[in-house]
Structure 1
Amino acid sequence: MSDVEVHRRVQAPVDEVWRIATDLESAPQVVRGIDAVEVLTPGPFGVGTRWRETRTMFGRSATEEMTVSAVDPGRSYTVEATSSGVHYLSTFSFAPAGEGATEATMTFGGRPTTRVAKVLGALTAPLATRSVEKALRADLDDIAAAAERGAATG
């Protein structure tokens, strides 16, 4: 699958969007697509933070273990996961967009690591790309709504 990237202007400052996007315990209450999160590492969000995230996709519940592999505090972070012969890489970026706003970007890509995954990926790529884009947009909309509520009340 080629990388999918979505952007959204959020009417909240970067620090509020960052706080919402990195609050793993609250993710199921913020992001409609997330059913549950189990944080596996104690301490603050950073490189090495791991969690199990459960989502319902295509009518089936799936749980994946995620690991933060890079962080530029307040600006971006990268999450990696490997499942069913595919290595997934997600990047979340936040940049000031003037007047207390933020330009939020989510990028997601999957690279097959097995022959079976390569064949299945080639067959399902168009559908998968559309589904991923739709899910990323929904996640970003949910994060934006929570950050905008927080900015309005804070």
Structure 2
Amino acid sequence: MIVDVQIAISASRAAVWAAITDIERAAKTISGIDDIEIVEKPASGLVGLRWRETRMLFGKPATAEKWIIEAVENETYTTKAESDGFVFLCIKRIAEGSDGATLAETHISQPQGMVAKLMSIPMSLFFKGVAKKAVMQDLIDIKAAVEQTPQGQAQV
């Protein structure tokens, strides 16, 4: 299953980058995240950053361990998570626009075995809309956080 969303943000690419890479404070920025626990920090850069993220899913807390597998500063980063026979990739991308930046996010769910492949069929049919709405809300929250800071500058 693939979910794609994007949003225009009236701020610089650097301000958006600062907001989306501030993983430690993501629970304060994104309403859908209840808790963040940093597991491992790389010596430099983002690649290798690992954290546990807790969200409410279907009325129950669900925690996933995520890590950044690739990053290009001020442009894109990709996270990976594994759970219940699936690999989940999330790609965040920032493009410069005429009135600011565009933040795009793609979620890819890849089943890894026969059971997961069978589970992916109803997942694609019934949960794609729910997932798209949740990802869009994340982007709306990021936009609000970035645009409310003075002149679109990310808080440090």
Structures share fold, TM-score greater than 0.5? yes
- Report the secondary structure of 2:52's partner residue: strand
Aligned CA-pair RMSD:
1.4
- In structure 2, the partner of 1:95 is 95
Which residue does the alignment assign to 2:10? 11
1-side partners of 2:13 and 2:83: how far apart?
31
Q: How does 1:60-99 map to 2 (within 5 A)?
A: 60-99=60-99
TM-aligned CA deviation for residue 151 of structure 1: 4.2
Deviant stretches of 4+, over 6 Å: none
Q: In 2, distance between residues paired with 1:151 and 1:91?
A: 27
Contact 2:41/2:50 (8 A) holds in 1? no
Alpha-carbon shift at residue 149 of structure 1 (Å) = 1.0
Question: Which residue of structure 1 lines up, in the alignment, with residue 134 of structure 2?
Answer: 135
Partner of 1:50: 50
What is the CA-CA distance between 1:153 and the residue it aligns to?
A: 6.8
Report the Cα offset of residue 124 of structure 1: 2.7
Q: Is the 8 A contact 1:16 1:150 kept in 2?
A: no
Structure 2: segments with no counterpart, 5+ residues: none
The percent of aligned pairs where both chains have the same amino acid is: 32
Provide the aligned length of Structure 1 versus Structure 2. Answer: 152
Q: 1:77 to 1:109 in 2, by over 3 A?
A: same
- 1:30 matched to 2:13? The reply is no
Q: CA deviation at 1:152?
A: 3.2
TM-score with structure 1 setting the length: 0.93
